Structure 1
Amino acid sequence: MTSTKVSRPPTIEPAESPILRELSTVRNRLRHLFDEPFAKLLPEPLGVEALSSAFGWMPLVEASETPKEYLITAELPGLKLEDVSVEAEGDIITIRGKKEEEKKTEEKRYHLWERSYGSFQRTFTLPLPIVADDIHAEMKNGVLSVHVPKSAEAKSNARKIAISEKK
């Protein structure tokens, strides 16, 4: 009898609602439309950046893992602790926040407006099992880190499968 080790690494996947999926499809179609010959002809406010900012902003996120934990980091420049919340429910981690727009004044005339503002929500489905009671988050220099410890079961989920010879 021969043994082989079978292991499929767990993944941390952003949960996506049907509405966000549809908006993403529309955004990609618009991006493709303007990326093809017209992007160079249009002034910047009408280009892809303006269209993508019309859909709000989503912080850039990395999801990784070590043998001990899953780690979700999000870039949240300009946000304070009170602007951000992290929730855990079962195998789902949700990061929410709001970035307030500067007050525009009559005296100020903008030549370029690339910064994004508004509310955001990022939701991630984690592979189970995790230690929900030990999840913790910290923010430093505009980067939020959410640490999700793996349970002992998750740390040793790879198992050997015996292969028998078929007669």
Structure 2
Amino acid sequence: MANRDLTPWRAAAPTPFGRDPFMNFRREMDRLFDDFFAPAEPRSFGGGATAQSMVMPSIDVHETDQAYTISAELPGIDPKDVELDLRDNALTLRGEKRSEKKEEDGGRRYSERSFGRFERTIPLAAEVDADNIEARFENGLLKVMLPKNAKARDKTRRIEIKGGSKGGA
């Protein structure tokens, strides 16, 4: 009797796991160990992460000729726990997420707390008008409008590119 007669799959009929379920198992185990020993990366507030691993808020940066608009997702954070600073053409967003959960049922008590600080610095290419910055916080979304300085907008100009001859210099 040959080894292929003892296996539950045939070469002509692949299994749901591919041709070789043991290779798939090995690949998954290798991935598991790679993920376990990989350095920890900051995680977003969204996306099913546990409360302790929530380190970095997701941000969107939109730039027009007139202004920057920066949005940061900060669900479950009190606006008083958020701080914004503008320095050297960079906006820094920092804060702390605090979460506390308590349950009592008869003589049983369950309590869980988690805290996590975050800080994001967003460099800005153009100088902004610091006196006219607006920030709003609604339903866990922080939106910051940073108008560009008029002088900084005037410094941008298109440079003409001169073409050479097709044959080279």
Q: Which has the larger radius of gyration?
A: 2
Alpha-carbon distance change, 155 to 124 in structure 1, aligned in 2, over 3 angstroms: same
Residue 67 of structure 1: SS of its match in structure 2? coil
CA RMSD of aligned residues (A): 3.7
User: What is the correspondence of 1:25-104 to structure 2 with a 5 Å cutoff?
Assistant: 36=31, 56-102=54-100
- Which has the higher mean CA deviation after the structures are superposed, 115-124 or 63-72? 115-124
- Mapped contact 1:56–1:116 kept (Cα < 8 A): no
Instruction: Show the counterpart of 1:145.
Output: 143
SS in 2 for 1:159: coil
Shift of residue 136 of structure 1? 1.9
Could you say which residue in structure 1 is the equivalent of 2:40?
A: none
1:141 CA displacement: 0.9
- Residues 109 and 53 (structure 1), Cα distance of their counterparts in 2 relative to 1, 3 Å cut: closer
- Whether the 8 Å contact between 1:99 and 1:117 is mirrored in structure 2 is yes
In structure 2, relative to structure 1, the CA distance for the partners of 1:163 and 1:150 (3 Å cut) is same
SS of 1:133's equivalent in the other structure is helix
Shift of residue 64, structure 1, vs aligned partner: 1.1
Identity of aligned residues (%): 34
Answer yes or no: is the 8 Å Cα contact 2:100–2:114 preserved in 1: no
Counterpart contact for 1:57–1:117, Cα < 8 Å? no
What does the per-residue CA deviation read over 1:4-55, in whole Å, with 9 as the maximum and x for residues that have no partner?
xxxxxxxxxxxxxxxxxxxxxxxxxxxxx9881569xxxxxxxx99998765
The structure with the largest strand share of the pair is 2
- Pairs aligned (count): 123
5+ residue gaps, structure 2 = 1-27, 35-42
Q: Which runs of 4+ in 1 moved over 4 A?
A: 48-56, 103-106, 164-167
Query: How far apart, CA to CA, are the structure 2 residues paired with 1:35 and 1:116?
Result: 31
Match of 1:125 in 2: 123
Tell me the TM-score normalized by structure 1. 0.58
